[in-house]
Amino acid sequence: MQNNKAINMAAATKSWFLLITLSVIAIYLPAFVDNRSLTIIGALVIVVLKGQQIVDIFMELNNAPKLWRTLFLSYIILVPLIITIIYLV
Amino acid sequence: MSNPSITVVVPDKKLPGDLAMWFFILAELTVFAIFFIGFSVSEQLNAEMFSLGKAQLHQTAGLINTIALITSSFFVALALTKIHKAQAKQSVLLLLIAKAFAIIYISVKIWEYLSLFEQGITIETNTFFTLYFLITAFHLMHVLLGMVILSFIAHSAWQGKYQNNEFSGFEAGTSYWHMVDLLWIILFPLIYVI
């Protein structure tokens, strides 16, 4: 039990580093990518990656019933996907 | 020859916190999804106005707020691991650190609003700023409510109310806070980046 909790803390710390790194990449994306469509796709892919970390690690839905995890992961994929379609179509 | 029986123990998949809180979170996410989609459609209809509006926003402030909320969420996640280990006092300390980062978020957001007001920009300036103030202020209200919830669970933890594997109230509170973070990670690129 003690070991599992230690793993959770390590996972949360790794997740925090990843989330911060992805946020910094996102803000500088327009400076490095000239193409607006690619910037939009890149920024929204980053949203999906960050969302998965929050849902699975911070909210601990990776240990929840499959339906709830699927619902939240669907949200974090569908909303950016709809936004991407609106911007690119 | 008979095979020895093997018992595999599969841990139960359990939803953290109260079911009611998760339905409430889903409802909140749905409302914000409508805002996000509405913002995107409006931007497509008023591309130049939105481009000029976004150029007047402070990107670094957006990044600072992102880091503040993610870090706050991180400390809330750590607080949950501590309460699971019956380390209530340490859990309260981590919740206080999480609230300190939330205060950074609120301070930066107020500074952003005041900077815009000084330039004569208000909610009535144009469609972009109407949506900007509406969505960010609505999110800010959720941050404030989240802070009240964090204070409540910190107070309860300090009084030793989360014992004997009864953590559902604490877990419900932390889940709400992570929702606030989840919403911001969509809001941030939508308003500040793309």
Average pLDDT, chain A: 90
Tell me: pLDDT of B1 over 70: no
Per cent of chain B over pLDDT 90 is 86
Q: Which residue of B has its CA nearest to A67?
A: B15
Geometric angle at alpha carbon A20, from A14 and A25, rounded to 5°:
125
pLDDT tens digits for range B130-179? 999 999 999 999 999 999 999 999 999 999 999 877 889 999 999 999 99
Chain A closest CA to B6's CA: distance in Å?
Answer: 22
The ipTM, to two decimals, is: 0.91
Cβ contact A49:A22 at 8 Å: yes
Does A86 reach chain B within 8 Å, measured CB to CB? yes
Does B192 reach chain A within 8 Å, measured CB to CB? yes
Q: Which domains does chain B have, with CATH numbers?
A: 37-193 (1.20.120.80)
- What is the DSSP-derived secondary structure letter of residue A35? -
Does A24 reach chain B within 8 Å, measured CB to CB? yes
pLDDT tens digits for range B104-118? 999 999 999 999 999
pLDDT tens digits for range B49-80? 999 999 999 999 999 999 999 999 999 999 99
Token couple for A17:
């580093």
Q: Where are the domains of chain A?
A: 2-88
Instruction: Compute the average pLDDT of residues A62-72.
Output: 94
AA identity, residue B86 = A
CB neighbourhood size of B118 (10 A) = 8
Cβ contact A62:B16 at 8 Å: no
Q: Are the Cβ atoms of B13 and A63 closer than 8 angstroms?
A: yes
Q: Which residue of B has its CA nearest to A37?
A: B194
Give the Cα separation of B93 and B105 in Å (integer).
19
Q: Are the Cβ atoms of B182 and A8 closer than 8 angstroms?
A: no
